[in-house]
Structures are given as C-alpha cells and as structure tokens.
Structure 1
Amino acid sequence: MAEYEMQESNLPNEEGKRILFPRMKLWNQVDLEYIAKNINYASTFTPGDIMGLVRSLTQEIANQMAQGNSVKVDGLGIFTPALGLRQGKERESGEKGGRRRNSMSICVQNINFRADKQFIEETGRRCILSRSELKPGRSSQKYTPEQRLELAQKYLEEHPYMKVPDYCQLTGLLRNTAAKELKRWSEIPETGITTQGRGSHKLYVKRKETAIP
C-alpha cells in the first residue's frame, strides 16, 4: 500500500489562498536487479536473462535516439532526446553577425519521457492509497536567501566541493528546494559558485577567478 500527503504549493491561487495538492510518498528506490528477481518468480526467464534483455533494449533505444528518432515502446511510453549546450558555452544571440554554435558546442543533455496512457492506467489499477499520518516536511525559514548564500560561500572556502545534502544540512532546506537554490546560485557569476560534473555526479565548487591580462 502506498501513502500520500497533501503538500502546499509554493504559489497561491488567484484569490491569494494556499493550494494543497496530493503527493505520493516514496520510501525506496528499486533497481533492475530487484525487478528482475520479481519477474523471475512469475516466468521461466532467469534474472540474468531479464537484466541482459533490458540492457540490450536500453542500448538500442539510445542508438535510435542518437540517429534522430524518438522511440515508442507500446505500453510504456515515448522516449525523445533533448539537446543543450555544453558547460561553459554561451547561447546564440540570434542576431545578424552574432555568435553561432557549432555541433561541438551542443550535446544530448536529457531524455524526455512521456508515459503511455496504458502504463499510467495499469499503475493506477494496482495502486491502493492511504493518507500518511506524518505531516509533510517544510524547508526551514531560519535563514534568508542572502544568509544561505553566505553559508555556502563560507563552506566552499573550507571544502573543495559541496553537494546538495551538504547545503540541506547547512541551511535546513528540503532537498528539492536546496537543489533549485544551489542551481540558481551557480548561474549567477557574482556568487562565486559554479558546478562540476553532471546528473547525480554534479558538484558545486568555488568559481575560479578570471585573470585580467
């Protein structure tokens, strides 16, 4: 049985009143090995067969997207590659005579996934919900954004890098809020904070000062 909680939106409605929306509580994250073992109980396939097949499928999906195709898996959904600029590259201005970005400046930055309606309905049929007895967590309001920025800057003076959990512990913010705020700081050069790595390996580090010739 899954649980849900009513969480307050960051934005009020048109009348200025708070808006609550249901959000499922996620307790764990299962991996491919766990799923393969569950499928094994109800089939003649071994966990190794299942894991090998799934890995072959993901590789072929990646191959097709790399050639400029979106991929539809019936009952699951549609996968579409999304492009972005490599780290440190500026956007095209779109103005005549302005800087243009070549293929070396562009990379696959994300994979967009749109779930099949059948997949959503199948999940809904299996889902039995109960309301959580625990109150939803809120980010601490102990510090102002400016004070949180100072805490982050001081932390990076004493440590080589900072992760989102470090910022959560420093400021009392919940993970999603902390991640969004850190991302905002890294996009403002004046904060002295930038990033290294991507995805789950992203680190926040002290921005190197550009030498003036």
Structure 2
Amino acid sequence: MEANYRMERNPNPKGENDEMPLHPRLIPHNTYNIRELMRYGKERSTYSEADIAGALRLITDLVAENLRSGNNVEIEGLGFFSVSLQSRPVMDKKELRSESVHFKNVNFRCSQTLKDRLKTMPLTRLKEEKLRTFNDDEKYRRLQWYMDRHPYITVMKYRGLNGCSDYSARKDLAGFVENGTLEETGTRHIAIYTRPAGNNEPEPASLIIDSNITTD
C-alpha cells in the first residue's frame, strides 16, 4: 500500500502576508493499536495473540522501569528512548533542589536501520477535491452573511465558508481584524472572531453556501 501525502503551507510565523513555501505532509491511512498489531503478528508468525500480547506488555514494562531508573533504552531496529527533565530557570545550580526537578517527556530517536527501511517507502499525492475560489468582495459578502446569523466565526468555519486553506483563512481573518471588520478573541488554543461592538452590517442579498466544492 502506498502512503498518501498532500502539499500544505504553514502560516507565516512573523505574521506577515508573505506566503511560506509548500511542504509535503503525510496523511495517515489509520492508527493501529495493540490489538490490531497482535492480529497482524499472528498472521505472519507462529505466535498466538496471547503470546504477542504478553511479549508487548513485558517490553513496555521493561522500557518504563529502565527509563524511570535513569537509563536509556535501545530497541534494535526501532530506536532509542530517553527521558528529558524540566525545572524553573535558575542562574546558579545551588538555587535548585532535587525536589524542584521533574520529568518532562520521553524522547525517541529513530534508529538508522529503521530510517534505511523507510527511505524507499512508496508515496503518492492525495487527490484533492477542486474548490471554487472567490474574490475578496465575495469573501467579504459571505462573511457578512455568516455573521448576520452567528455571534462569531472560527478559522475552521471560515475555511468551510469560502473553501480555502488554513493559511488563506488566517490571512483573510487577520485582514478583517486589521481593517476593523472583526475583532479577535478566544484563547491561545483557538481564535474566535466577532464583530466589533455596535457594528451592525446590513444583511446582504441571499446567498447559497451549501457547498463550495465542484464536481467534475
């Protein structure tokens, strides 16, 4: 089976309007859990599912125990596991007690053997649906149509409304904030865009937005 990818563009980290280069992003077919790996392992070996499950649990326990004891763990053909730590920033090591140092994360470094096996993985670009594009005036009209019916809009909703990429949606919404059409609120995890207080735009002519995907 070939792995699928699509070309994506990240938002400019500097907040500028210049577009960032495209880069390929893998689109997973699925995420396999232990039970599925056990089933496939049984089909490819003489081991039973119970044998495979027991071996996986044992390896998991041994990896966790050794990491907890301050060791690194290498699983040949897979990679290296190690622990990273965290503490508050200090200038002198005497300012920090052992009780103030904590576990942060488990680091994984892929083995060269696994990298070599993946270098020749078959890849195919995911066929994407054709999206109808709108000019700036039409995007503005569609935004006002939506805001007349909802208290706020998110990046995801704007993408669906205008059939655009995440990058284009964020760029458009930033422009609407800059010119005073919208205000940005929300949290650091999700941005919410609302009309400024007292901004009551007239409702535009009726607009059909059931779908912006064309079918050929």
Does structure 1 conserve the Cα–Cα contact (< 8 Å) formed by 2:84 and 2:106? yes
Q: Quote the offset at 1:101 in angstroms.
A: 2.8
Distance 2:53 2:165 in 1: 36
Name the residue aligned to 1:188: none
Aligned pair partner of 1:102 in 97, 103, 112: 97
Q: Report sequence identity in percent.
A: 23
Does structure 2 conserve the Cα–Cα contact (< 8 Å) formed by 1:79 and 1:114? yes
Amino acid at match of 1:5: R
Amino acid at match of 1:72: E
| Alignment TM-score, normalising by the size of structure 1 | 0.57
CA RMSD, 1 decimal: 3.2
Name the CA shift for 1:84/1:101 in 2 (closer, same or farther; >3 Å): same
Name the residue aligned to 1:138: 166
Segments of 4+ moved more than 3 angstroms: 9-12, 143-148
Distance 2:93 2:103 in 1: 26
Partner of 2:109, secondary structure, is strand
Q: Quote the offset at 1:109 in angstroms.
A: 1.4
Distance 1:124 1:28 in 2: 20
Amino acid at match of 2:90: S
Name the residue aligned to 1:66: 68
Distance 2:11 2:76 in 1: 36
**What does 1:82-161 align with in structure 2 at a 5 Å threshold?**
82-85=84-87, 91-95=88-92, 100-125=95-120, 127-134=121-128, 137-139=165-167, 140-141=169-170, 142=173, 147-148=183-184, 150-152=185-187
Q: Quote the offset at 1:106 in angstroms.
A: 2.1
Name the CA shift for 1:37/1:147 in 2 (closer, same or farther; >3 Å): farther
Partner of 1:59, secondary structure, is helix
Name the CA shift for 1:96/1:123 in 2 (closer, same or farther; >3 Å): closer
Distance 1:21 1:8 in 2: 6
Structure 1: tracts of 5 or more residues without a match: 86-90, 154-163, 172-213
Q: Which has the higher contact order (CA 8 A, sep 6+)?
A: 2
Name the residue aligned to 1:88: none
Distance 1:49 1:109 in 2: 33
Q: Quote the offset at 1:151 in angstroms.
A: 2.7
Distance 1:147 1:109 in 2: 36
Distance 1:152 1:9 in 2: 20
Partner of 2:70, secondary structure, is coil
Distance 1:17 1:151 in 2: 25
Report how many residues are paired.
Answer: 146
Does structure 2 conserve the Cα–Cα contact (< 8 Å) formed by 1:81 and 1:112? yes
Name the CA shift for 1:57/1:8 in 2 (closer, same or farther; >3 Å): same
Does structure 2 conserve the Cα–Cα contact (< 8 Å) formed by 1:77 and 1:113? yes
Partner of 1:58, secondary structure, is helix
Per-residue deviation, residues 105-158 of structure 1 (Å, max 9, x unmatched):
222110110101111222344x3211112279415323659944x2349xxxxx
Distance 1:130 1:96 in 2: 52
Distance 1:51 1:96 in 2: 45
Larger radius of gyration between Structure 1 and Structure 2 = 2
Name the residue aligned to 2:212: none
Amino acid at match of 2:42: N
Partner of 1:83, secondary structure, is strand
Name the CA shift for 1:50/1:134 in 2 (closer, same or farther; >3 Å): same
